[in-house]
Amino acid sequence: RERERERERRGSMIDDAMLRTVATYVLYATAGFLFLPAGRDIVSHKTCILPGEKDMRKAMNATSVKVRTFFWGVWGMNHCMMSALKIYALHSGDLTLLKILSVQTVVCLAYLVLCGKSCLAAKADVSGFRNVFVLEAAAITFLAWCPVVA
């Protein structure tokens, strides 16, 4: 009865619970879908699974001037977002998010360490980036997993 009054007051058949449900399903669907291409990029970046990828793959080269800005932008945007989430989690005291992000940071660090030699072979020195991740992984892991002692 309360919901009906609220709908009448707003003049809409859509209430907050319905919007939350729709938004939840949309988020699950889109985030879940992104695991396909993102996961594929990690384990087999040469495999095409989406329409149009075969042609797009030819341009996915760091030497392609036409797409360089886009790829560096995406790379930077992702790192900025991860950093913003880490700052938010720390500032808000969200230990669950800190724990999730600590795992992400350690996995990225492992990736940087394991791929370091192949990057050097291609004259791509990632040691500075790796060193930043060493410090960040140590700090976030401590903050997330070591309880505060009163």
SS3 letters across the chain: CHHHHHHHHHCCCCCHHHHHHHHHHHHHHHHHHHHHHHHHHHHCCCCCCCCCHHHHHHHCCCCCHHHHHHHHHHHHHHHHHHHHHHHHHHHHCCHHHHHHHHHHHHHHHHHHHHCHHHHHHCCCCCHHHHHHHHHHHHHHHHHHHCCCCC
**Residue of 87 and 128 predicted with greater confidence:** 87
**Residue of 98 and 16 predicted with greater confidence:** 98
Query: What does the pLDDT look like over 36-87, one tens digit per residue?
Result: 877 777 777 778 887 777 766 666 666 777 776 777 677 777 888 888 899 9
Band of the pLDDT at 100, cuts 50, 70, 90? very high
- Averaged pLDDT for residues 7-30: 66
